Amino acid sequence: MSTLEIRDLHVAVGDKEILRGVNLTVRSGETHAIMGPNGSGKSTLAYAVAGHPKYTVTSGTVLLDGENLLEMSVDERARAGLFLAMQYPVEVPGVTVSNFLRSAITAIRGEAPKLRDFAKELKAGMEALSIDPSFAQRNTNEGFSGGEKKRHEILQLELLKPKIAVLDETDSGLDVDALRVVSEGINRFRGLGSSPGEHSRASGDTGVLLITHYTRILRYVKPDFVHVFAGGRVVEEGGPELAEKLENEGYEAYTAKAASA
Amino acid sequence: MGLETKPLSTLHEKSSYDVADFPVPTGREEEWRFTPLSRLKGLHDGSLAVTGGVVVDVEAAPEVRVETVGRDDARLGKAYTPSDRVSAQAYSSFEKATVVTVPKMTAASRPTVITLRGSGAGAAAYGHLLVSVEPMAEAVLVLDHRGSAVYADNVEFDVAEGATLKVVSLQDWDDDAVHVSHHHARLGKDATFRSFVVTLGGDLVRLSPSVSYTAPGGDADLTGLYFVDEGQHLEHRLLVDHSVPNCRSNVTYKGALQGDGAHAVWIGDVIIRAEAEGTDTYELNRNLILTDGARADSVPNLEILTGEVAGAGHASASGRLDDEHIFYLQARGIPFDEARRLVIHGFFAQLIERIEVPELRERVLSAVEAELAR
Ligand SMILES: Nc1ncnc2c1ncn2[C@@H]1O[C@H](COP(=O)(O)OP(=O)(O)OP(=O)(O)O)[C@@H](O)[C@H]1O
Ligand SMILES: [Mg+2]
């Protein structure tokens, strides 16, 4: 059992306050969706929790299984079991996917996988996400299409098997088939459906915080909770039906509320 | 950035075998302004006693002819005429020259390795090397500079029609070495030249690789990698002189710098003369500044005197490690030091892949590793 607990989180970029008191708890076995207008601070929340140096936490706490994530370096947070699939994955010139993933797996698991085991695991993981094997020798994210980058993020999710995953618009820019493939990957991570590797967690062992603009991914990756994000905080919470309502009615009601708050 | 007040082409006009034709540099001259003259230990004014001290050892491919010749050998100084004071000093001071000949229509079956080992930085040593690749011949050459020395030399690469020469020059000197060197390649019709320079060691290294073409179709790639540590001055001065039509050149130099007083200088001069229609050239220098106190001077100069080029461009950038790269790797659990190592590796990786000799690739990779572990 794991719990990510965000309490009254305030975050600034420079001297501009962007998050204004976020409260959110994600437990293993749960999937939470965050929906909200552009610029409302969803990515800021994701980056701040992961520890991106650009974002300054001015107050509040973030705990993973009771441990204070905010006191940890970026890599310590990842090793503690946090994963962030980025809205815009970074191109890292000269570092091949294979080399990158092997280093990441080594860091997360605390020991280098045997070369042969790693090759097998990588191959299976790529196959499950319909990623061409040639990508292993390409530089990380360099020249990848938008959809390829997103699939590569989910490959990492499946290989690294964190406790809690924050997925920032992993569904944006995906075609119909890619959306299905990526959703299946997320569901394998959630412990639903078959797993390609032997390192998979038992069902209900992992938590997901899914940031999205669209309900179409929520048809594959069914959320237990939906949060509406506006003006740097959570302004409404509900079940899956809330997503449908948002899709039909938009955010107007909430942005007005956030502005007057 | 951009052209100096004097056109590039006039800066490189002067050439002579006679030291007296070049005044002792004061440091104000365009070609000397970046070099700390006081650390040349007298190479620029002839004040240091000459006792030799660099031993040249050649391990040649069986097809290649190697000779040690005296100053009067008529083949020397044909491809290259000294273009500055130290070069002329070296030319008028060396005692023995090494001549490597790759006979025509011959492909050397393995690299020819020339090791230049210095035995101390207490006296000056001068050298001369001529590598003559005859028509349609092919060879790979390694110059491996080690030990300690105060050394000035000229290297002539004479690559004849249709021939190919690939050179790897490693400056892997001890910490107190001083090395001032000119590498000139003269390319015949359809000749191919690949130079890979790796400069890691030495207190001061100033290496000036240049290329000239005698007929169309010449093709030169000049690649370089350097790692500058605390207190080191590593300077590379490139000159590609396109004076005949339809030749190609590409210059790619990348360096990393760390520590107080680490200083890299990169000058990339490319001249496309009026006659050199159809020239295709590109030059790039990138510096990765890893710590405070390190400085990179990067000056690309491109002078185009014809309206008919196939392509001409340059780029130069010096900067810190990209925080976003490091963040991405760390966000996957990779500790900072390892992330930094991966990114710096990545910075050099594509260059190192171009080294013709696999064993040298390994050596350069592990040398970069060792630098990062400092
Ligand atoms: N470096 C920065 N400097 C100034 N403002 C910034 C900076 N980074 C983010 N912001 C601002 O913070 C706000 C929140 O941005 P964020 O990326 O978190 O929004 P988002 O909810 O993820 O939007 P989207 O749905 O478009 O992805 C925006 O108004 C953005 O312009
Ligand atoms: Mg966003």
Whether residue B67 is predicted with pLDDT greater than 90 in this model: the reply is yes
Which residue's alpha carbon is at the smallest distance from atom 2 of ligand 1? A13
Predicted pLDDT of residue B3: 41
Q: Which of A190, A130, A149 is nearest to B328 (CA)?
A: A149
Per-residue pLDDT tens over the stretch B192-212: 999 999 999 999 999 999 999
Whether residue B102 is predicted with pLDDT greater than 90 in this model: the reply is yes
Query: Cβ separation of B330 and A160 shorter than 8 Å?
Result: no
Predicted pLDDT of residue A260: 61
Reported ipTM: 0.94
Place of tokens 């989180």: A9
Which residue's alpha carbon is at the smallest distance from atom 17 of ligand 1? A43
Q: Chain-centre distance of CA A239, in angstroms?
A: 20
CA distances from A126 to A118, A170, A187, A248, B148 (A): 12, 17, 16, 36, 51
Mean pLDDT over each residue of chain B, to the nearest integer = 94
Positions of chain A with pLDDT lower than 70, given as ranges? 193-203, 257-261
Instruction: Tell me if chain B has a CB within 8 Å of the CB of A99.
Output: yes
Q: Which of B213, B282, B208 is nearest to B241 (CA)?
A: B213
DSSP annotation of B37 reads: G
Mean pLDDT over each residue of chain A, to the nearest integer = 92
Instruction: Tell me if chain A has a CB within 8 Å of the CB of B333.
Output: yes
Q: What's the token pair of residue A208?
A: 């997901």
DSSP annotation of B95 reads: S
Predicted pLDDT of residue B259: 96
Q: What's the token pair of residue B32?
A: 């000397």
Whether residue B360 is predicted with pLDDT greater than 90 in this model: the reply is no
Strands A3-13 and A56-64: antiparallel
Which residue in chain B is spatially nearest to A162 when comparing CA positions?
B332
With contact defined as beta carbons under 8 Å apart, do B118 and B147 qualify? yes
Q: Which of B23, B348, B15 is nearest to B198 (CA)?
A: B348
What DSSP line would sit under A133-174, residue for residue? GGGGGSBTTTT--HHHHHHHHHHHHHHH--SEEEEESTTTT-
A231 CB-near residues (< 8 Å, 6+ apart): A20, A40, A41, A255, A258, A259, A261
**What average pLDDT does range B228-242 have in this prediction?**
97
Q: What's the token pair of residue B305?
A: 């005197």
- Evaluate if pTM is beyond 0.90: no
Predicted pLDDT of residue A258: 61
Predicted pLDDT of residue B357: 85
**Best substitution site from A40, A49, A86, A254 to test ligand 1's pocket, by max atoms within 8 Å of Cβ?**
A40
Predicted pLDDT of residue B5: 57
- CA A101, CA A226: separation in Å to the nearest integer? 32
> Amino acid identity, residue A253?
A
Whether residue B322 is predicted with pLDDT greater than 80 in this model: the reply is yes
